[in-house]
A and B are shown apart, each in its own frame.
Chain A
């Protein structure tokens, strides 16, 4: 039956809604191959079908399959675009190499453009009055206290706080930090809040 490969692709994307898989170049290639061969067969039969009405129907069926394949491929890309957006909000504008390699080159380009667009929108906030303290990727949860205790999950190096103090984040070290200054590190899994 037509369009079976592309459905596998979509099911794969749906299976793990909370993570992004490797861009499936190979399967996409197979779908494109199916499309090219359907298209070619149609070109041949379309020439012959002017005097053969049932062949004309065959051409229509193939054309429907082509449109269907196209819709599915675009839906695959779109579902990944949504995940890539989430990557921008959660990992930040610089992706770790092992995440970066899950994206195709086109997707990485899209990620960069998305990131740039977001950054320029955020720069516009408060720009009239020269205020730049609003970062939409921070302040994600209702604040409960100004300071929290955190445990460092990985060696991260030095962190300069707003008040000028510099601390070193070493694996397993504990710190008492301003909530506003460690939210991103917690989101990125480098720090963990001790409750």
Chain B
């Protein structure tokens, strides 16, 4: 999938905004939101938050985890652990990118936060490469990948699944016909000539 399609999926997540206008409830297909009260926080889907922000109709409220201290802890934990730790949400990178990209002024210490999130992302990406390596070495037909987010999983497509497909095929062929002699191909062993 394209990263923008995963962003699209992540944009359905609900985030908090503070509108600067007052309006009654709005009934969308994906649910009802509002009423909008100027100055009062409320929840909307991320795509709507971005849209309102771009029209300067709201301030974004950074999610709880977008906080230096919380993120530092996550980063330490991620460094320490051999496994992937559970992220504050399944689309943390999408949320970070859209909120910090559209509303940096609404997030205290936005640029530091951006750096830490990028650090966490990088640690996880390099861990991901190590795990893939281990996975391929250990047989390469199954792996458990808890806590990886969809965007992270997407970053190893199509490389990992296709390599596993190819390996499976190669080994399947090997298994099917183990030749007695390695010097000749399987279809040239019985060299007996017979008259046509």
Contact = CB atoms under 8 A, between A and B. Distances in A.
Contacts of B54: 145
Contacts of A28: none
Interface string B1-35: 01011011000000000000000000000000000
B195 interface: yes
A141 B196 contact: no
Interface in A54-85: 54, 56-57
B195 A141 contact: no
Interface residues of A, number: 7
A142 B196 contact: no
A53 interface: yes
Interface in A10-59: 53-54, 56-57
A142 B8 contact: yes
Contacts of B5: 142
A171 B113 CA distance: 44
B195 A142 contact: no
Contacts of B8: 142
13 contacts: A53-B195, A53-B196, A54-B196, A56-B196, A57-B196, A141-B2, A141-B4, A142-B4, A142-B5, A142-B7, A142-B8, A145-B51, A145-B54
Given A56-B196, A142-B5, A145-B51, 5 more contacts: A53-B195, A57-B196, A141-B4, A142-B4, A145-B54
Chain A to chain B: the 9 pairs with minimum beta-carbon distance, closest first: A142-B8, A53-B196, A142-B4, A57-B196, A142-B5, A54-B196, A141-B4, A56-B196, A142-B7
